[in-house]
Copies of this chain bind each other. A is one copy, B any other.
Amino acid sequence: MNKTPITVAYGDGIGPEIMQATLDILTAGGAQLDIETIEIGEKVYLSGNSAGIAPEAWESLRRTKVFLKAPITTPQGGGFKSLNVTTRKVLGLYANVRPCVAYAPFVSTKHPKMDVVIVRENEEDLYAGIEHQQTPEVVQCLKLISRPGTEKIVRYAFEYARAYGRKKVTCFTKDNIMKQTDGLFHKVFDEVAKEYPDIENEHWIVDIGAAKLADTPEAFDVIVMPNLYGDILSDVAAQIAGSVGLAGSSNIGQEVAMFEAIHGSAPRRAGQNLANPSGLLLGSIMMLVHIGQSEVAERVHNAWLKTLEDGIHTYDIYDEAVSTEKVGTKEFAQA
């Protein structure tokens, strides 16, 4: 098998540890990767580049088109832009896919049957970054929804459902209040849904939909929603499935795709071999499927599940129900 070129960023905080652990596991699992490493995050910001990423790094990303990214730290203050948002925007990563799955009984959860995929719009909404101060006492931020942007994300959600044999796509908006913006999102959802008669569709107002999701997540399958709701509710869903530490995500564009954990860089836990690489590992498994190494993906996923089943956990997931407690790197050498 030819090696697939990918771009890797080790990130900040716990980033380097969990990236090393993840790459070790992928190699052990037989992944064929040709790795280009780039510098992003804290060091780049502090060197005066407010985007947190160097021009050469963009070149690598445009060349390999596949990006495995560890969490990074944006320094406080100083008007640094969020690199996550910059990357999504510059590379046109319009779909943020976040599977939130319970691994009961191996990871404790109140929702053992949960298996929800949140498909979050990733470029528009309040994330367009248009803010201004109107008077000294009044500030505004623009929420933007476009028809092409919405069509792209909704169609992605239905295509995803079809590809992965899922039965239903739900849409969340607040169109009883935001009749034009969320109204457009809902309307496009209804239009696109008609092209997929094999897949059930429904719409919930986001407040009561979120309540239902937090209480009875088994009621949902794939959920598509505007950016900000997706940001909040994917954290909710991942957490009640087990832990935000156990969720990976893919950020899909027309050309480039980026894979990451959904959690942050946890600087206080860095360098202590405490971190759980599972989120990034699950992101990297999505990457293997994306680059056509599905067999390796399955092998690595099974090894990971086996590790959970054996009760081997990092301290964040460790629980009475579990037999051994292990640190990040060591644990995953065993898989």
Contact = CB atoms under 8 A, between A and B. Distances in A.
Interface of A: 74, 79, 82, 85, 110, 126-127, 129, 131-133, 136-148, 174, 176-181, 183-184, 206-208, 210-212, 214-215, 228-229, 231-236, 238-240, 244
Copies of the chain in the assembly: 2
Nearest to A227: B177
18 contacts: A82-B176, A82-B177, A126-B177, A127-B177, A131-B180, A132-B180, A139-B181, A140-B143, A140-B144, A140-B145, A141-B143, A141-B180, A207-B234, A207-B235, A211-B238, A214-B236, A229-B232, A236-B236
A146 B142 contact: no
Q: Which of A141, A174, A179 has the most CB of B within 10 A?
A: A141
Contacts of A231: 174, 207
B176 A126 contact: no
Contact of A244 (B181, B211, B233): B211
A110 B147 CA distance: 40
Contacts of A74: 176
Contact of A228 (B174, B215, B234, B236): B174
Listed from nearest, the 5 A-B pairs whose CB atoms lie closest are A211-B239, A211-B235, A207-B235, A131-B180, A137-B147
Contact of A215 (B147, B180, B211, B239): B239
Contacts of A238: 211
A142 B138 CA distance: 12
A183 to B, nearest CB: 8
A211 B137 CA distance: 31
A137 B126 contact: no
Contacts of A82: 176-177
A84 B235 CA distance: 29
